[in-house]
Amino acid sequence: MKKYLCALTIIIISATTFAGCKVFWPQVFPPEEILPIIFLTGDIEDTVYVDMGTLTSRQFGQDEGYALSDVLGKAVMLSTEYDILAIARNDKAVKLEQDTIDACYIVMTKEGVLELRSSVHYYFVNCFLPLRSVSEIVVLASEETGRGIEVQGGKTPKLYVKKQIEFVFAQLRTYVSNNGNTVVEYRRDATYADIILSGGYTGATITLADSTEVEIDSTTKEIIDWRNGNLILRSSVSPIISIELRGGTQEQGT
């Protein structure tokens, strides 16, 4: 009987100790969920990596967060008139009009993710706002800027940022609040690179970062995508390869 009591005591002590240890184990989130970084890209002078921790938080009703205007203030705009496209890690995206930017803000949730919220847009059922896990904000100038890809022999002289976005993000829905503010929802829909042909860029040749050239034709199976301000090509050779359009057919603009 003593043996059983002794064994039971040891088991209880071990279980209690193990449970106690678990209480002090730190909760681990994926690295991208705890790094408060947002990429600013698009029609701006240079891509900017904004560390949200360096901004001063403000009070927005019951929320404490960071003004979207403060985030955009870190970039040098190439146009005074623009909208923004906010992109989340789950491939959802929303386009917001410039005159609503001052009413938008970003909070850090208790789970450690950045969430874009608005005080002037209505949150409809199943809408993308608030946009959870926002990671990139693309500035979309209302007028053509010098930011883009020069094209020789195509229907247009330059592949501007708005057009690049159209290649990758499919428009889903448009919501108009009673106050007239509009939200346009998009979802990343990266497609085959030969979609460039439908835009009139016949015989286009893409030069990869390693100087390898890929000719875009009707049989091309590479996927064209957008990540952190750059068109990229996902091929069967390499998971993600940044592309630089240059040379005789196309070249990278500044």
3-class DSSP string for the chain = CHHHHHHHHHHHHHHHHHHHHHHCCCCCCCHHHHCCEEEEEECECCCEEEEHHHCCCEEECCEEEEEHHHHHCCCCECCCCEEEEEEECCCEEEEECHHHHHHEEEEECCCCCEEEEECCCCCCCCCCCCEECEEEEEEEECCCCCCEEEECCCCCCEEEHHHHHHHHEEEEEEEECCCCCEEEEEEECCEECCHHHHCCCCCCEEEECCCCEEECCCCCCCEEEEECCEEEEECCCCCCEEEECCCCCEEECC
Q: Which residue range forms the structural domain that includes residue 63? A: 31-145+169-188
Q: Residue 71's domain is classified under what CATH number?
A: 3.90.420.10
Has residue 224 been placed in a domain?
no
Has residue 141 been placed in a domain?
yes
Has residue 75 been placed in a domain?
yes
Has residue 80 been placed in a domain?
yes
Has residue 120 been placed in a domain?
yes
| Domain total in the chain | 1
Tens of each residue's pLDDT in the chain, 254 residues: 544 444 444 443 344 433 433 333 333 444 444 558 999 999 999 999 999 989 999 999 999 999 999 999 999 999 999 999 999 999 999 999 999 999 999 999 988 899 999 999 878 778 999 999 999 999 999 988 878 765 544 555 567 888 889 888 999 999 988 788 999 999 998 777 777 666 666 566 665 556 666 666 666 667 778 888 877 766 544 444 444 443 333 333 33
